[in-house]
Amino acid sequence: MSAEVPLWEVFIRPRNGLAHKHVGSLHAADEVMALNAARDVYTRRGEGNSIWVVPSASISASDPDQAGENFEPGDKIYRHPTFYEIPDEVGHM
Amino acid sequence: MALFDAVLELADDHLVLGHRLSEWCGHAPMLEEDLALPNMALDLIGTARGLYTYAGALEGAGRDEDDLAYLRGERAYRNLLLCERPNEDFAHTILRQFYFAAFMVPYWSAAARSEDETVRGIAGKAGKEMAYHVRHCGEWVVRLGDGTEESARRMKDAVEALHIYVGEMFEEAASAGIAALPSRAGMRGEWEATVDHVFGLAGLSRPVVPHPQTGGRAGVHGEALGHMLAEMQSVHRAHPGATW
């Protein structure tokens, strides 16, 4: 059955003010059924207060073959904002 | 009739239907439903526990939830015939749950205003759960009824098979004259509105039932309940008082 039913990615917001976070995927015929299934599969223990579901087919992913040029910036340490003296008066940043 | 008898009827409805749903665990058509059906079963069994415990306290004879659930025979069970009907296929199971939940939503909503504090407590929790059962099962009724040729046929067969048990839900039975519980007959309007809305989307219609089936409240059950209770009660009867 699952071969005929589309796949959905599920995102849960654990608390107000936090971002929705990817928690997994499931099969469902449409978005209403996907939201119901997400409630049953992923929020049984009070994990959150909001659910998003997105058709997995709508997600564009980066190519693992491009991981080198994408994710390995090398020793460009100047990209980290660690060369500034922050005055104490600024407080927590 | 006493409040004890009326609470026991409600408890039996929930335990029997909960056990029926639990039979799907590991057998549902897809993983998502394999979690959803036992989730709903646990909602029902949880409500049954609260009701049995309260019934035991009302009776005052020292019987606890386990005594009431596991040590009564078929004729002593007072559940609706609808609740004991076998699972058959997914369409039967979903429709049975939809019919029951569509009744319990307005029932618990009314019971939440009961003069009885324990009834109010149980109603508050169970009402929210039943609202989800209506939504979940209602969506499936629409999709099966308005789905493929096969799913539509199975859904129609389920309506044909189960609708004869609907009338029994609205019998007052032991709750007649009990002020702490809502009138069951009074739920008919809201039940029909819920069912008609979903059936409209599903392309189904409520059949006319010339010979409605009843008797569960008097302990006159179909053959299916005895088999179910034998399995459900076997561990407790083999190991009386066992705890884990």
Domain of residue B192 covers 2-238
Question: What order do you get walking across the sheet with A21-27 strand by strand?
Answer: A21-27, A7-13, A50-55
DSSP E strand boundaries for chain A: 7-13, 21-27, 50-55
**How many folded domains does chain B comprise?**
1
Cα–Cα distance measured from residue B174 to residue B177, given in angstroms and rounded to the nearest whole number: 8
Cα–Cα distance measured from residue B133 to residue B42, given in angstroms and rounded to the nearest whole number: 12
Interface list for chain B against chain A, based on CB atoms closer than 8 Å: 29-32, 35-36, 39, 132, 135-136, 139, 143
Minimal Cβ distance to B32: which of A32, A40, A44: A40
Does residue B175 sit within a domain? yes
Nearest CA in chain A to B134: A36
Does residue B6 sit within a domain? yes
Neighbours of A74 (CB within 10 A): 6
- Provide the residue-wise pLDDT of chain B in tens; the chain has 244 residues: 599 999 999 999 999 999 999 999 999 988 999 999 999 999 999 999 999 999 999 999 999 999 999 999 999 999 999 999 999 999 999 999 999 999 999 999 999 999 999 999 999 999 999 999 999 999 999 999 999 999 999 999 999 999 999 999 999 999 999 999 999 999 999 999 999 999 999 999 999 999 999 999 999 999 999 999 999 999 999 998 888 7
- Provide the residue-wise pLDDT of chain A in tens; the chain has 93 residues: 445 799 999 999 999 999 999 999 999 999 999 999 999 999 988 899 999 999 999 999 999 999 888 888 878 888 887 888 888 888 876
Among B93, B80, B75, B103, residue whose Cα is nearest residue B13: B80
Nearest CA in chain B to A39: B36
Does residue B244 sit within a domain? no
CB proximity under 8 Å: A 9-68 to B = 26-29, 32-33, 36-37, 39-41, 44
Q: What is the ipTM of this complex?
A: 0.81
Give this prediction's pTM: 0.90
Does residue B243 sit within a domain? no
| Cα–Cα distances in angstroms (integers) from residue B143 to residues A14, B93, B164, B200, in the given order | 31, 14, 23, 12
Chain A environment of B133 (Cβ under 8 Å): none
Q: What burial class does residue B224 get, using C-beta atoms within 10 Å of its C-beta: 0-12 exposed, 13-18 middle, 19+ buried?
A: middle
Task: Tell me whether residues B143 and A33 touch, CB distance under 8 A.
Answer: yes
Cα–Cα distance measured from residue B27 to residue B163, given in angstroms and rounded to the nearest whole number: 25
Residue B35, H or E segment: helix B31-59
| Cα–Cα distances in angstroms (integers) from residue A72 to residues A62, A65, A66, A75, A82, in the given order | 14, 12, 10, 9, 19
- Looking up residue B17, the CATH number of its domain turns out to be 1.20.1260.10
Does residue B143 sit within a domain? yes
Task: Tell me whether residues A29 and B35 touch, CB distance under 8 A.
Answer: no
CA diameter of chain A: 62
Degrees, nearest 5: CA angle A15-A16-A18: 70
Minimal Cβ distance to A36: which of B29, B31, B139: B139
Does residue B197 sit within a domain? yes
Nearest-CA distance from B124 to chain A in Å? 18
Chain B environment of A5 (Cβ under 8 Å): 30
Does residue B139 sit within a domain? yes
Cα–Cα distance measured from residue B99 to residue B238, given in angstroms and rounded to the nearest whole number: 35
